[in-house]
Structure 1
Amino acid sequence: MSSPPSEPHPPRILLAEDDTELRSLLTLTLARAGFAVVALEDGFELSDYVSLTQVCGGPLLPPDLILSDVRMPGLTGLDVLTRAQAAGLFCPVVLLSAFVDDATREAARRLGVSAFLDKPVDLQVLTATVRREISTSQGPGLRTREVQS
C-alpha cells in the first residue's frame, strides 16, 4: 500500500524585522500572497531559529527564503547570514534597510545576498522579489554555493 502524496507546503519565509508595525505589515502582505511566514523580532531570534533547523541538526524545517532587516539590535542581518552559511544553510536572502552604505552592500554581495530592497519598501516589489528568488532557488536546506571572487 502506497502512502498518499504529500501536499506541497507554501514556501516558508523567515522574516526578521525589529520594527513591530513593519514586521506585522510584511507578515500580513506575504501571508496574503500565499507564503508561510515565521516572524521574528531581531537577529538573535533569527539566529536561534536557523540553529534549530534540520540542516543544523534541529527539528525545524529550513526556510525557503530569509527576509531580514540589515540593522537590528544585537545581531545584524549580515551577522546571521554569516552564521547560517557557516552552519551549512544556504537559501535566498533578501535584505531590507533604510540606511545602507556601499560597504554594507558590498559585504552583502560577497555573502551572496539575492536582493537588497530599500525602505520604505514597495509591497508589490517585495512580493515579486520574494516570488522570483524562491522560484529560481533550489529549495531550502543544505547545498553548496559557488564562492564569488
Structure 2
Amino acid sequence: MLSSLPSEPHPPRILLAEDDAELRALLTLTLARAGCAVVALEDGFELSDYVSLTKVCGGPLQPPDLILSDVRMPGLTGLEVLTQVQAAGLFCPVVILSAFADDATREAARRLGASAFLDKPVDLDVLTATVRQEISTPHGPGLRMREVLP
C-alpha cells in the first residue's frame, strides 16, 4: 500500500497585468527571482479572461495567490478588473500600480478592495517586500488597503 506523500509547496502564483512590455519583463524577472511563478499578461482584457477561467469562477485554472495590476491599461483598467475579482469571490490580495495616482484613484482602489497601492516608478525591493507581505497576510472581504511608501 502506498502512503500519500505530503504535497510540495508551490511557489506563490502571481498574475501580473502591465501594458508596458519592458516594465512587464522587469517585474516578471524580479518576482521570479523572488521565488514566484508569474503569469505575465499584457492588459486588462487578458487579466479579466484569466480571472474568469479560475476554478473559483468554474474554470480549469488555479486561482492566483496575488494579482499585481497597473491601473491604466488598454481595454479594461486595473480597477475594472478589481471589480470583477471581487464579484467573483476571488479573495486573493490585489496590489495596484500606477504612475497617475491621484486621491480619487486611491479611494476607488481602496473601496474596491485593493490590498496595497504602489506608485510608479516602483522600487523593486519595495515591490518584492509588498508581495511577500501580502501573500503571507490573510485576505477576505472587508480588509483595508495599505499604502506602501518607498
TM-score by length of 1: 0.92
Task: State how far apart, in whole Å, the 1-side matches of 2:143 and 2:63 are.
Answer: 21
Task: State how far apart, in whole Å, the 2-side matches of 1:33 and 1:137 are.
Answer: 20
**Residue 50 of structure 1: CA displacement?**
0.2
Q: Give the equivalent residue in structure 2 for 1:20.
A: 21
Task: State how far apart, in whole Å, the 2-side matches of 1:40 and 1:103 are.
Answer: 25
1:91-122 superposed Cα distances (whole Å, 9 cap, x missing partner)? 10101011121111101011121111111000
Aligned residue type for 1:124: D
Q: Which runs of 5+ in 1 are unaligned?
A: 139-143
Task: State how far apart, in whole Å, the 2-side matches of 1:29 and 1:146 are.
Answer: 30
Mapping for residues 1-149 of structure 1, pairs under 5 Å: 1-137=2-138, 145-146=141-142
Task: State how far apart, in whole Å, the 1-side matches of 2:42 and 2:143 are.
Answer: 30
Measured at CA, do residues 114 and 147 of structure 1 come closer, stay the same or move farther in structure 2, by a change above 3 Å? closer
Measured at CA, do residues 23 and 5 of structure 1 come closer, stay the same or move farther in structure 2, by a change above 3 Å? same
DSSP-derived class of the 1:120 partner: coil
Q: Give the equivalent residue in structure 2 for 1:141.
A: none
User: Aligned Cα RMSD in Å?
Assistant: 1.3
Q: Give the equivalent residue in structure 1 for 2:147.
A: none
DSSP-derived class of the 1:80 partner: helix
User: What is the aligned-residue identity percentage?
Assistant: 85
**Residue 49 of structure 1: CA displacement?**
0.2
Task: State how far apart, in whole Å, the 1-side matches of 2:142 and 2:19 are.
Answer: 31
1:43-65 superposed Cα distances (whole Å, 9 cap, x missing partner)? 00000000000000000000000
Aligned residue type for 1:15: L
Bigger drift between 99-108 and 40-49 goes to 99-108
Consecutive aligned runs of 4 or more in structure 1 exceeding 2 Å deviation: none
DSSP-derived class of the 2:96 partner: strand
Aligned pair count reads: 143
